[in-house]
Amino acid sequence: MIEFAEQTGSTNADLAAAIRSGEGWAEGRWLVARRQTAGRGRQGREWFDGAGNFMGSTVVTPGEGGPPPASLSFVAAISVFQAARVIKDSAAGLALKWPNDVLLNGGKLSGILLEMLRGQVVVGIGVNLARAPHIEGRKTAALADVVAAPDVEHFSQVLAEQFARNLAFWRANDLGSTLERFLGLSIHAQGSPVTVHDTDGSVLSGSFAGLEENDGALRLRLADGSERVIRAGDIS
């Protein structure tokens, strides 16, 4: 089920408010905004609110003993990749980058934000359909750069279908299976150079040594042969 709002502050905030109020938000139900006035990205970044782009949120209730809730970011990224591939009728130019970036010809195509609340995870996704925002120091992209921009309604349906399939797979298998899917669509290869830009401004360089199977953290092999586990930060 997909509900559309002409304008709202943030679809994530709306779903969080519904959960806090006791009204709740059923899994499989999406809220999609045509304009968003207070959208946020990872690490508190503001995300573009342009008309014609996809901005929506849904809720997942993780089960006991299942994969860690934070790993839903991989589910979301894979789903955006697959939805974009359906729209383009090709995977050409599409790739994933840890932790949850979807790239189109090297530019950031989407933003994903997870928020945990009362045992539920609000999954917020923004995808550049019609045009891309300007982000200082980062290349961005929109589907309209390579194909006719899909209408929001059609893209919403395609994304919701892909997310439901990937969510079922995430639940039915160990996390390693979802991570294997993620890596198969990603720019990351064993031994490829990686530079980590931490939230405190520090920079650490090494090579890609895989993902932790218990939570999807990045393993960085340093020049001395030791490994560092990275759970937050941007990489290049």
CATH topology of domain 2-184: BirA Bifunctional Protein; domain 2 (3.30.930)
pLDDT, one tens digit per residue, over 34-68 is: 987 765 544 444 455 577 999 999 999 998 888 99
The predicted structure's pLDDT at residue 63: 83
Give domain limits for the chain: 2-184, 193-235
* Cis peptide, bond prior to residue 99, ω within 30 of zero: yes
Task: Quote the pTM value.
Answer: 0.92
Domain 193-235 sits in CATH at 2.30.30.100
Mean pLDDT throughout 135-152?
Answer: 91
Cα–Cα distance between 62 and 49 in angstroms, integer?
29
Q: Would you say residue 72 has pLDDT above 90?
A: yes
pLDDT, one tens digit per residue, over 175-209 is: 999 999 999 999 999 989 999 887 777 788 999 99
Does residue 219 contact residue 206 with C-beta atoms inside 8 Å?
no
Q: Which two tokens stand for residue 158?
A: 């395609």
